[in-house]
Amino acid sequence: MVLQRNNDVSIWGTGPVTKDIVITTSWNGNTYTTQSDKEGNWKLKVKTPEAGGPYQVDISDGTETVSLENVLIGEVWLCSGQSNMERALRGAANDPILGANEAILRANNKNIRFFEVINEKSKEPKKNFDGEWTICNRSTAADFSATGYFFGKLLHEMLDVPIGLIESDWGGTKIELWMKEKSIRNIDEEIINGSSSLLYNGMIHPMLGFNMRGVIWYQGESNRRNPEVYEDLFVEMVKSWREDWNIGQFPFYYCQIAPYGYDEVNSAYLREAQLKASKVIPNSGMVSLLDAGDEKHIHPSKKRIAGERLALFALKETYGIKGIAAKGPELDTMRIDGENIELAFNENLSSFGKTLELFEIAGTDQKFYPASAVIKGNKVILTADDVKKPIAARYAFKNFVEGDLFNLYGLPASSFRTDNWEDDTK
């Protein structure tokens, strides 16, 4: 396994009732002692050094000793969400992963470790779950989250320390399943049902206290029908997880859902909720995948893009690497200039040779028409023959699009709108 470096990490277990439990760590030869309670439970913290290993941890009750061998010290991240996080590097029927063959070929790396939580639902918070640590190789990497693998691989390449990745995800799941019931009630009691909290109880609660650096998250497709509450649920979930882990405001980086040809709702409203949440959640970052979707497949093949863009956030914001960008351009202000709308962004823009085709503008009739768009530095100038008095603009605010607005680092802007008009797809 991998333990979080430079930390006081928790180790816990069960044993004989009211007996001394002694832990010895080989990296410094220190011993740590506690006593099991009347039910045999015990827990203590041990201090970890800078990255390294392999090491050994011995746990003894005076009669029996359990040895944890081949333990590395490095960076630990949790990978969670629904099927686009769950999709394995080897792909699935009609859902391939672009570049998987080469990635699997190069996967052997004893300094990357995986822990895959076995799917389990529970009506009550559990203390344990099933799963095991494995060493990254062609076989284990092929079965691990593609997004998680590409994230961890880039971290390892740049940081040159062991990486531990914990995968806890389940396809087709709403965010409510990953939240404890109390957190859901804080937002909207009406959405609580028989499946609420089942995955939090079974697949998150058992690992609370296991020290980690942060979380990457890819979920939202299953909440596309209730975008109006998703932002609040997401903010509350992150807040609750941080409180429950009790290791501070750990980084939380996530993917905005990718464009896909939904036919019953406009998923741009869910993407908007995710964008808004990024402005509210401290120490968070949202990856735009507006250029990496697939109109025919809800599981886009470009998982390397998703994983590596998540890694960019970690490398820049968590590990302090200078001179790189982690997110795409964001709208600052809108100004109406006669028949034109001028959108100012927080950085200079490029279409990388593409014609900007995803902007629309509307007047007081709230009908949007395709707009001609021209980039001038950090601004986009919009105009449309059908709209003489524009009051609102939208960019890529549809189910499936291929993003054409980027910053100079090649990172795409999110879809957005300047209006707050009601969802016209409901």
In 3D, which of 144, 1, 133, 146 has the Cα closest to residue 74? 1
Distance CA 329, CA 332 (A): 9
Does residue 424 lie within any of the structural domains? no
Buried b (16+ CB within 10 A) or exposed e, 202-237: bbbbbbeebbbbbbbbbbbbbbbebbebbbbbbbbb
Distance CA 63, CA 411 (A): 58
Does residue 324 lie within any of the structural domains? no
Q: Determine the 3-state secondary structure of 383 from DSSP.
A: strand
Of 10, 41, 72, the last residue of a domain is 72
Distance CA 61, CA 288 (A): 50
- pLDDT at position 82, please? 98
CATH number at residue 15: 2.60.40.10
- pLDDT at position 426, please? 53
Shared-domain flag, residues 169 and 234: yes
Does residue 48 lie within any of the structural domains? yes
Of 260, 287, 318, the last residue of a domain is 318
Shared-domain flag, residues 221 and 353: no
Shared-domain flag, residues 286 and 296: yes
Shared-domain flag, residues 353 and 219: no
Q: What is the DSSP string of 332-352?
A: EEEEEETTEEEEEESS-EE-T
Mean pLDDT by 10 residues, the chain (426 residues): 97 94 97 96 97 98 96 98 98 96 98 98 96 97 98 98 98 98 96 97 97 98 97 98 97 98 96 98 98 98 98 98 98 97 98 97 98 98 98 98 98 98 75
Does residue 423 lie within any of the structural domains? no
Does residue 326 lie within any of the structural domains? no
Shared-domain flag, residues 253 and 202: yes
Domain that holds residue 389: 331-417
- pLDDT at position 425, please? 63
Does residue 247 lie within any of the structural domains? yes
Does residue 323 lie within any of the structural domains? no
Does residue 325 lie within any of the structural domains? no
Shared-domain flag, residues 158 and 168: yes
Shared-domain flag, residues 89 and 171: yes
> Total structural domains in the chain?
3
Shared-domain flag, residues 82 and 68: no
In 3D, which of 292, 266, 311 has the Cα closest to residue 84? 292
Q: What is the DSSP string of 223-267?
A: GTT-HHHHHHHHHHHHHHHHHHHTS-S--EEEEPPPP---SSS-T
pTM above 0.75, yes or no: yes
State the Cα angle at 363 between 412 and 420, rounded to 5°. Answer: 60
Shared-domain flag, residues 391 and 305: no
- pLDDT at position 423, please? 81
Of 289, 318, 347, the last residue of a domain is 318
In 3D, which of 240, 291, 281 has the Cα closest to residue 395? 291
